[in-house]
Chains A and B, each alone.
Chain A
Amino acid sequence: LVQFTIPIDNGDALKNAEADSQRTLYPYVTGTSIVAIKYKDGVLMASDMGGSYGSTLRYKNIERVKAIGKHSLLGASGEISDFQEILRYLDELVLNDNMWDDGNSLGPKEVHNYLTRVMYNRRNKFNPLWNTLVLGGVKNGESYLGMVSMIGVSFEDNHVATGFGNHLARPILRDEWRADLSFEDGVKLLEKCMRVLLYRDRSAINKLQIAKITEEGVTVSQPYSLKTFWEFQAFHNPTAGAQGSW
């Protein structure tokens, strides 16, 4: 492969001061949880459309779930610019796959493996892509759902979540997930998880998308909002019965 851009090669990011300043130390614009489940016909993945800049909810129209090739969906939480970079890598991967024109195409297991390699190798250079990725898909009738973290931890499961979703959504899914969920029941289950996240995760916004992937292909829903309820009795007079400040 002929190189056209002249890479600035400062050397080793661990020893050279100039290269060191190019390493990722902390994330800047971040997306919050992704929640995904396998269901009867494939995989469902839900995310909200927020991009936080620290504690500011700066961007409210960020799509954090994207279709990859014909058979996969990728959802990301964490640094949005790193997610965009990952999408560029995958774009090149899928393009090269298509150009063979041999009737084969990359399945979700292969894309998941590729991402795991990328994330783990970046972690080993102390320059991670600051994301937790969820990769779901269907190929030849088989559903696949997996996850890769920014340190390269990678696994598959029937339901996965990132960030706060691990603590708030997965307990619900452990109790209520079934392999034969219909599309409607799957969406209801995901909405139940997303609602809890909306109430309890301060970086969540009430604008979400649910993406579906089946043998036929990918559909990403239009953004919509969940109904919330704030009229609980206990919240009406929160200081009643409490002495002092709380």
Chain B
Amino acid sequence: MSSIGTGYDLSVTTFSPDGRVFQIEYAAKAVDNSGTVVGIKCKDGIVMGVEKLIASKMMLPGSNRRIHSVHRHAGMAVAGLAADGRQIVARAKSEARSYESVYGDAVPVKELSERVASYVHLCTLYWWLRPFGCGVILGGYDKDGPQLYMIEPSGISYRYFGAAIGKGKQAAKTEIEKLKLSDMTCKEGVIEVAKIIYKLHDEAKDKAFELEMSWICEESKREHQKVPDDLLEEAKTAAKTALEEMDAD
């Protein structure tokens, strides 16, 4: 394949002459090959959606959850190597629980994202560890309102009002930028995220997919939960209709 990093890409503790750490970049490629994950911050909460590419027709719908609750008020959507993602989610749950145990209050989303990012970064500092092959979108609701963070395999974490990772991230980001998020409620946001995911799903390359969505908003009592079934169905129908209208053009 590519021989760009030859010699300098064998260990995460080696820099290349032009200042890159290739192992981290390769880890990011693992994330880019996974199904798209989208997160948006609406005016009253966060909505996250995952394009779950179905590997086998034998899989039960609703299994292989990609979005996990990390505490009552926060959730994480994972893209990339699923087993690596499970570790990150476990660590985030542990950090959130520990914070509440020590400080008596729910962990602020900013603090949680810093702790998770710090943990992901840790695994890029030693040659006997490998970087996590997954990116994570963390959505939460605390005293400062709803917040959305993205943590990459390099350990970078930024706060976003719209974020996407995985195969269709470029197309997703373009679509998100078209939305007026500050005027949108989460109910509307669920429909929009569904539309985006259906739109950027490549029928030719990947066959079937399952849409998984979660939200944290006033309607969910500021708790992270799966989007209720009736709203999810409504969103899927709206997304399919929007696709047909596009194809009809």
Q: Is the CB of A98 within 8 A of B72?
A: yes
Give CA–CA (A70, B65) in the complex, Å: 24
A240 touches B (CB below 8 Å) = no
B236 touches A (CB below 8 Å) = no
The residues of A that contact B187 with a CB separation of less than 8 Å are none
B29 touches A (CB below 8 Å) = no
B113 touches A (CB below 8 Å) = no
The residues of A that contact B68 with a CB separation of less than 8 Å are 99
Q: Is the CB of A101 within 8 A of B226?
A: yes
Give CA–CA (A4, B225) in the complex, Å: 27
Q: Is the CB of A2 within 8 A of B69?
A: no
**Partner-contacting stretch, out of B90-98, B149-157, B238-246:** B90-98
Q: Is the CB of A2 within 8 A of B91?
A: yes
Q: Is the CB of A99 within 8 A of B93?
A: yes
The residues of A that contact B71 with a CB separation of less than 8 Å are 95, 99
Give CA–CA (A98, B91) in the complex, Å: 17
Q: What per-residue 1/0 map shows which CB atoms of A88-111 lie under 8 Å from chain B?
A: 000010010011010000000000
Q: Which residue of A lies closest to B119 (CB)?
A: A2
The residues of A that contact B226 with a CB separation of less than 8 Å are 101
Q: What per-residue 1/0 map shows which CB atoms of A1-45 lie under 8 Å from chain B?
A: 110110000000000000000000000000000000000000000
Q: Is the CB of B97 within 8 A of A101?
A: no
Q: Is the CB of B72 within 8 A of A2?
A: no
The residues of A that contact B72 with a CB separation of less than 8 Å are 95, 98
A101-B225, A101-B226 known; A1+B69 contact, CB < 8 A: no
Give CA–CA (A94, B97) in the complex, Å: 13
Give CA–CA (A2, B87) in the complex, Å: 11
The residues of B that contact A99 with a CB separation of less than 8 Å are 68-71, 93
Dominant SS at the A interface? loop
Q: What per-residue 1/0 map shows which CB atoms of A132-151 lie under 8 Å from chain B?
A: 00000000000000000000
Give CA–CA (A2, B116) in the complex, Å: 13
Q: Which residue of B lies closest to A4 (CB)?
A: B98
The residues of B that contact A5 with a CB separation of less than 8 Å are 98, 101-102
Task: Sort chain A's interface into a size bin.
Answer: under 10
**Contacts of A181-238 to chain B: CB distance below 8 A:** none
Q: Is the CB of B94 within 8 A of A2?
A: yes
Q: How far is the CB of B111 from chain A (nearest CB, A)?
A: 14
Q: Is the CB of A101 within 8 A of B69?
A: yes
**Contacts of B55-75 to chain A: CB distance below 8 A:** 65, 68-72
Give CA–CA (A5, B70) in the complex, Å: 20
The residues of A that contact B102 with a CB separation of less than 8 Å are 4-5
Give CA–CA (A159, B225) in the complex, Å: 37
Q: Is the CB of B94 within 8 A of A1?
A: yes
Q: How far is the CB of B75 from chain A (nearest CB, A)?
A: 9
Give CA–CA (A47, B93) in the complex, Å: 36
Q: Which residue of B lies closest to A92 (CB)?
A: B97
Q: Is the CB of B69 within 8 A of A98?
A: yes
Q: What per-residue 1/0 map shows which CB atoms of B200-216 lie under 8 Å from chain A?
A: 00000000000000000
Q: How far is the CB of A105 from chain B (nearest CB, A)?
A: 13
Q: Which residue of A lies closest to B214 (CB)?
A: A101
The residues of A that contact B70 with a CB separation of less than 8 Å are 99
Give CA–CA (A123, B65) in the complex, Å: 40
Taking each of A1, A2, A101, which has the highest tally of chain B beta carbons within 10 Å of its own beta carbon? A101
Q: How far is the CB of A86 from chain B (nearest CB, A)?
A: 15
Give CA–CA (A92, B97) in the complex, Å: 8
- 10 further interface pairs, Cβ-Cβ under 8 Å (given A95-B97, A99-B69): A2-B91, A2-B94, A5-B98, A5-B102, A95-B71, A98-B69, A99-B70, A99-B71, A101-B69, A101-B225
24 A–B contact pairs at CB < 8 A? Answer: A1-B94, A2-B91, A2-B94, A4-B94, A4-B98, A4-B102, A5-B98, A5-B101, A5-B102, A92-B97, A95-B71, A95-B72, A95-B97, A98-B69, A98-B72, A99-B68, A99-B69, A99-B70, A99-B71, A99-B93, A101-B65, A101-B69, A101-B225, A101-B226
Complex A-B, nearest 6 residue pairs according to Cβ-Cβ distance, in ascending order: A99-B69, A4-B98, A2-B94, A101-B226, A101-B69, A101-B225
